[in-house]
Chain A
Amino acid sequence: MMQKHDIKLDINGKKYEIAVEPRRTLVDVIRDQCGQTGTHAGCHHGVCGACTILLDDEPVRSCLVFGIQADGKKIRTVEGLAEGNKLHPLQQAFTDHHALQCGYCTPGFLMLAVGILEKDPDISHDDLVSALSSNLCRCTGYANIITAVKAAAEQMRAG
């Protein structure tokens, strides 16, 4: 067993003090050691984007980061999007526009979109498509995902 290091994570405002092996990826730490299984892994290789989270408000692939590198940082995952029973506009738009089928890619797309729209609420269609093209979905054919994100963007701009 490798030596473990004590780290502190802040996931959706909740503090976790845990000991991690240096080789554990952040996605594994979030899921296995913090029990937040909403974040998914589809490849562990940085290709599919299913594991996208916000690390200090930046969309990041959590399979490409070691848990230890997130020490002291602020993590946001899909579990933190809704406020109580009130869905985040992106969550609402995803269900309204049927932007998910199996739902496995959904947390990654939601977090990527949150990251994009928070930074650039007026992003153009082409830039949005190109930014969202970094994540994979095998079920929907994408059309409804882009529709949902644009609908949410409008909603978010309107306040």
Chain B
Amino acid sequence: MASKKKLILGERLRRLEDPPLITGQGRFADDINFPHQLHMRIVRSPYAHAEIKSINTESASQIPGVVAIWTHGDISDLGPIDFRADKSAEELKAFRQFCLAKSRVRYVGDPVAAIFAEDPYIAEDAADLIELDVNQLSVISDADQEPGEFDEGLGSEAALLTHTFGDVSPVWDSAYLVVDVDLRTGRHSGVPLETRGAIGVHNKTTDTLELYGAAKIPHRNRDTLVRMLSRPPAKIHLHEGHTGGGFGIRGELYPEDILVLVAAERLGRPVKWIEDRQEHLMAANQGRNQHHLARMAFDQNGQILAMADEFWHDQGGYVRTHGANVPNRTMCMLTGAYKIPAFQAKCHFRLTNKTPAATYRAPGRFESTFVRERIMDIAAEKLGIDRVEIRRRNLIGVDDMPFKIKFNEPGLETLVFDSGDYESLLDKALVHFKWDELQAELNERRAGGELVGCGLGVFVEESGKGPVDGARISVDINGDVEVLTGGASLGQGFETTMAQITAAALGADYNKITVLHGQTDRIPYGIGAHAARATVMTGSAVNITALKVREKALDVAAELLQTTADRLDIENSEVFISDNRNGPSVSLAEIAERLAPGSKNLGGREPNLSAEGFHNTKESAFPYGIHFAVAKVDAETGHIKVERFMVAYDVGRAVNHMLLEGQLVGGCVQGVGGALFEEFSYSETGEPLAVTLADYLLPTMDCAPAIECLVTEDAPSPTNELGIKGGGEGGINGVGAAIAGAVDDAIGQVGAVKELPVTPQRMKVMLNRAG
């Protein structure tokens, strides 16, 4: 009989986090209040690029209930918002954002003043009365136009970044085929349903600053705040409550987070800020906005000989906390699942007068997969090789694992694809999707006049980048298990996942486990939830810690049951002798009681049934996947309907299949949004044209395709004991690529889709060109 321990990992257990959320008892940012709090309202620039002449706050300050109004001059002692500790590239420092604009505004939405009032409605009234006098400056509207000026004497190209391996130069002239493409990905963002919020409190008793509404990486943000505010780590604490979706954009340090903290201290009252939707759509990080000129060389069998890409990354008005992380990830992951002998990528990392950009779910990967897979489709057509076959011929093989990509540039980290059988996933996916039957069916429908086709995208994801995370687990005398982590939860089911890992490793009853996260005052370290790290890093730390607790419990139980630890097992919080399940047993609660401080039964042991443990790794875990799409184009309206979609994904090991599929399906529908509807567009003068959810179109239920998931566990990661790889980004990575391929196929023009999203307007243009 399979033991419970084996079963609980992977089981589709109901989530521990659901009860408060379905009964209206959640604690999201706007649900948090402190007595005597002030409300902050940010006054934002209506200009995309301008020099500030003056800011008149006079009439606004007359409104009863307005307590203070700040402009940059009031907080000039506060430096710009820092990069995370590990991203402090000197050359980018000049492009950081101050909490309130200093002498220039650089995008519509750039904070210029902060109003603190007794009531949010009053603060908003006052904001309308602020007069901003400026000299308008010429607007840099796109990264690929002539560079302009970020500041006097400082150009808008913040950096020219490269990633290369091998030598591409001899290849182009001799290759059998060279495919050149000119491709763009639109500006998208996570757009969580809950806008951002931040509540700052200064605890005067302990002189501690507390930030509520934190998310994603509370500990890393605490470290940045320690540097920026010159306070010791013990005097700044971040607290994560419920979080209404993150997707990479929530939880970075933004101007508003710092303003509420500084104001709480200086004004002596708690300060609450809740973003409105319009602000969110012009102030929160955006992403994806890249223009690629890429090429690949092939021999006549479709073998890739080289890849080169020059691209322009539209960073928007400032470089935020990630530095140049997104263009770097783009370059790292461009070659995807293929073996490519020579590679050269060059990125123009440029500032423009738009909302600043940063990470959004599968950052750099959604974009790079789109570019690479577009080329594969075109090459297949030109060489007369089947689209699937040309990919198969280039896949990194199972014997190549671990597969290393070492870049020529000194200092760039070497990628090590830890494990994978890419071809086997491809085979399984083709069968599961009934790819061959599908071709016949589509041919028939096209013959009948329908514009319908299919496409695919093959990719490698990245997850679980170290270096370290830890956990503390304790069992109390009631048998309740507390799992204390420095992780974060953005709705992905973090608590359930950690509880399942704990239950499996320790043998504790799943329903007696409480998982804590996002509280910097409870645990001094924490990696947070970013770049699909949570399950891999925190999960591994929890596993290691739970095993330590188990060992201690077994040691005590062996004494009580007069046997040896290796003959014992634990299930549902009860320790018993493995080959005598119905015999004597002892509960974890009883063991905890025996280990209580001062207990006579302690022997030489440290008190308490608890442990602390760490997972260290230098390596990332690389999951991989394939997306298939079937799409139908309406020739009249240009509307595209995704009829079928499949996500095939290998995660090494799934902790909870239900949650994992939830991540894949949710990510996939976000990808469909990015591929077909969502776009932050701007006028030539830099005015944002999508500032409500009626302009920035999120997918609704009626346009979300039914998504099939094929989750495999063929290639456990050797980087951690459980073999886990991250699941958060596999649903979205290849969506743009697969849908582009399907649209091409539907209209019979390979390579037609050159830009995402394929809006009905763009589709009509393509159809007219064809027609």
Interface residues of A (CB under 8 A from B): 1, 21, 23-24, 31, 36-45, 47-48, 50, 77-79, 81-82, 87, 91, 94-96, 98, 100-107, 110, 129-130, 132-146
Separation of A87 and B24 alpha carbons in the complex (Å): 12
Q: Is the CB of A37 within 8 A of B31?
A: yes
A104 touches B194 (CB 8 A): yes
Tally B residues with Cβ within 8 Å of A.
57
Q: Are B694 and A78 in contact (CB under 8 A)?
A: no
Q: Considering the complex, give the chain B residue whose CB is closest to the CB of A81.
A: B23
B666 touches A140 (CB 8 A): yes
Q: How far is the CA of A3 from the CA of B241 in the complex (A)?
A: 35
A78 and B244 contact, Cβ closer than 8 Å, known pairs A47-B692, A102-B192, A143-B704: no
The answer to whether B24 and A37 have CB atoms under 8 Å apart is yes
Taken together as a complex, chains A and B put the C-alpha atoms of A47 and B280 apart, in Å, by: 15
| Complex contact A104–B659 (CB within 8 A) | no
Chain B nearest Cβ from A51, distance in angstroms: 11
**11 A-B contacts (beta carbon < 8 Å):** A1-B65, A31-B30, A36-B24, A37-B30, A42-B244, A78-B23, A94-B18, A98-B15, A104-B28, A106-B22, A138-B670
**Which of B467-475, B588-596, B695-703 touches A?**
B695-703
A102 to B20, CA, bound (A): 11
- Determine how close the nearest CB of chain A comes to the CB of B333; give it in whole angstroms: 23
Residues of B within 8 A of A142 (CB): 669, 699-701, 704
Contact with A along B625-642 (1 / 0, CB 8 A): 000000000000000000
Q: Is there an interface contact between B704 and A45, defined as CB atoms closer than 8 Å?
A: no
B9 within 8 A of A: no
A143 to B707, CA, bound (A): 8
Are B65 and A100 within 8 A (Cβ)? no
Do A104 and B245 touch (CB < 8 A)?
yes
Whether A137 pairs with B193 at a CB distance below 8 angstroms is: yes
> With A and B bound together, what is the CA distance between A102 and B18 in angstroms?
9
Within the complex, the shortest CB–CB distance from A130 to chain B, in Å, comes to: 6
How would you classify the secondary structure of chain B's contact residues: helix, strand, loop or mixed?
loop
Contact in complex: B704, A95 (CB < 8 Å): no
- Find out whether the CB atom of B22 lies under 8 angstroms from the CB atom of A110: yes
Q: Is B243 at the interface (CB under 8 A from chain A)?
A: yes
**Contact of B242 with A102 in the complex, beta carbons under 8 Å:** yes
Task: Report whether A101 and B702 are in contact in the complex, using a CB–CB cutoff of 8 Å.
Answer: no
Cβ of B519 within 8 Å of any chain A Cβ, yes or no, is: no
Residues of B within 8 A of A136 (CB): 193, 693, 698, 700
From A42, A100, A102, contact of B277 by CB (8 A): A42
Nearest A-chain residue to B490, judged by Cβ? A102
Q: Tell me if B491 counts as interface (CB < 8 A to partner A).
A: yes
Complex formed: what's the CA distance from A45 to B279 in Å? 13
Q: Is the CB of B693 within 8 A of A43?
A: yes
Additional A-B contacts beyond A21-B121, A141-B666, A142-B699 (18; CB < 8 A): A1-B122, A31-B30, A38-B25, A40-B194, A78-B23, A78-B24, A82-B23, A98-B15, A98-B662, A103-B491, A104-B192, A104-B242, A106-B22, A129-B701, A138-B245, A141-B707, A142-B700, A143-B706
Residues of B within 8 A of A (CB): 14-15, 17-19, 21-26, 28, 30-31, 64-65, 121-122, 190-195, 242-247, 276-277, 490-493, 658-659, 662, 665-670, 692-694, 698-702, 704, 706-707, 731
Residues of A contacting B731 with CB < 8 Å? 141
Could you say which of A81, A100, A140 contacts B18, with CB atoms under 8 Å apart?
Answer: A100
- Check B191 against A45 for contact (C-beta < 8 Å): no
A77 to B, closest residue via Cβ: B24
| Distance between Cα atoms of A82 and B121 in the complex (Å) | 33
Rounded to whole Å, the gap between the CB of A144 and the closest CB of chain B is 7
> Which of B26, B65, B698 contacts A138, CB < 8 Å?
B698
Closest-by-CB residue of B relative to A140 is B666
Known: A42-B193, A95-B15, A140-B666. A104 touches B244 (CB 8 A): yes
Complex formed: what's the CA distance from A23 to B668 in Å? 40
Q: Using A48-B693, A78-B24 as known contacts, say yes or no to A98 and B701 having CB atoms under 8 A apart.
A: no
The 5 closest A-B pairs by CB, nearest first: A38-B24, A102-B491, A103-B21, A104-B244, A141-B669
A48 proximity list for chain B (CB < 8 A): 193, 277, 693
Say yes or no: A101 contacts B662, CB within 8 Å. yes
Contacts of B706 in A (CB 8 A): 143
Measured in the bound complex, the distance between the Cα atoms of B242 and A37 in whole Å is: 13
Alpha-carbon gap, A136 to B193, bound state (A): 8
Contact of B194 among A21, A95, A102, A140 (CB under 8 A): A102
Q: Nearest chain-A residue to B19 (Cβ)?
A: A95
**Distance in angstroms between the alpha carbons of A104 and B704 in the assembled complex:** 19
B692–A141 touching, CB < 8 Å: no
Q: Which B residues are in CB contact (< 8 Å) with A77? A: 24
CB contacts (< 8 Å) of A98 on chain B: these are: 14-15, 658-659, 662
Q: Which chain A residues border B242 with CB–CB below 8 Å?
A: 102-104
- Bound together, the chains give a CA A81 to CA B24 distance in angstroms of 9
Separation of A40 and B195 alpha carbons in the complex (Å)? 11
B193 touches which of A78, A79, A104, A146 (Cβ 8 Å): A104
B692 partner residues in chain A, CB cutoff 8 A: 43, 45, 47
Name which of B21, B669, B706 has the most chain A CB atoms within 10 A of its CB.
Answer: B21
CA distance A6 to B319 in the complex (A): 50
Known: A129-B701, A140-B666, A142-B704. A103 touches B18 (CB 8 A): yes
- Determine how close the nearest CB of chain A comes to the CB of B673; give it in whole angstroms: 9
Complex Cα spacing A134 to B137, Å = 41
Given contacts A24-B121, A38-B25, A94-B18, contact A144 B662 (CB under 8 A): yes
By a CB distance below 8 angstroms, the chain A residues around B15 are 95, 98
Residue numbers in A under 8 Å from B668 (CB-CB):
141
Give, as a whole number of angstroms, the nearest-CB distance from A49 to chain B.
10
Q: How far is the CA of A1 from the CA of B26 in the complex (A)?
A: 31
A76 to chain B minimum Cβ distance, whole angstroms, is 11
Please determine whether A79 and B22 come into contact, CB atoms closer than 8 angstroms: no
B23 and A130 contact, CB distance less than 8 A: no
Q: Collect the chain A residues with CB atoms within 8 Å of residue B658's CB.
A: 98
Q: Are A100 and B22 in contact (CB under 8 A)?
A: yes
**CA separation between A44 and B667, bound complex, in Å?**
25
Tell me the nearest residue of chain A to B26, going by C-beta. Answer: A103
In the docked arrangement, what's the CA distance between A63 and B701, Å? 21
| B22 proximity list for chain A (CB < 8 A) | 78, 87, 91, 94-95, 100, 103, 106, 110
How distant is the Cα of A37 from the Cα of B665 in the complex, in angstroms?
29
Q: Are B194 and A42 in contact (CB under 8 A)?
A: yes
Which residues does chain B contribute within 8 Å of A91, judged by CB atoms?
A: 22-23
- Asked whether, in the complex, the Cβ of A101 is within 8 Å of the Cβ of B277, the reply is no
| Contact B243–A102 (Cβ < 8 Å) | yes
Residues of chain A within 8 A of B700, CB atoms compared: 133-134, 136, 142
Determine which of A36, A40, A133 lies in contact with B702 in the assembled complex, contact meaning CB atoms within 8 Å: A133
- Chain A: which residue is nearest B250 at the CB level? A102
Question: In the assembly, what is the distance between CA of A40 and CA of B64, in Å?
Answer: 29
Is there an interface contact between A100 and B666, defined as CB atoms closer than 8 Å? no
Closest to A97 in B: B658
The residues of A that contact B243 with a CB separation of less than 8 Å are 102
Which residues of A sit under 8 angstroms from B191, Cβ to Cβ? 138
Q: In the complex, which residues of chain B have a beta carbon less than 8 angstroms from the beta carbon of A42?
A: 193-195, 244, 277, 693
Residue of A nearest to B281 (CB): A43
The winner among A31, A106, A134 for most chain B CB atoms within 10 A is: A106
- Specify which chain B residues have a CB less than 8 angstroms from the CB of A139 in the assembled complex: 193, 245, 491, 662, 666
Q: How far is the CB of B489 from chain A (nearest CB, A)?
A: 9
Q: CB-CB < 8 A to B698: which residues of A?
A: 136, 138
Residue of B17, B22, B662, B700 with highest tally of chain A CB at under 10 A: B22
With A and B bound together, what is the CA distance between A21 and B119 in angstroms? Answer: 12
Q: Kindly state the separation between the CA atoms of A101 and B489 in the bound complex, as whole angstroms.
A: 10
Among A96, A138, A140, point to the contact of B662 (Cβ < 8 A). Answer: A140
How far is the CB of A109 from the nearest CB of chain B, in Å? 10
Max chain B C-beta neighbours (<10 A), residue from A23, A39, A136: A136
- Find chain B residues with CB under 8 A from A144 CB: 662, 665
Point out the residue from A50, A96, A135, A146 that lies within 8 Å of B14, measured CB to CB: A96
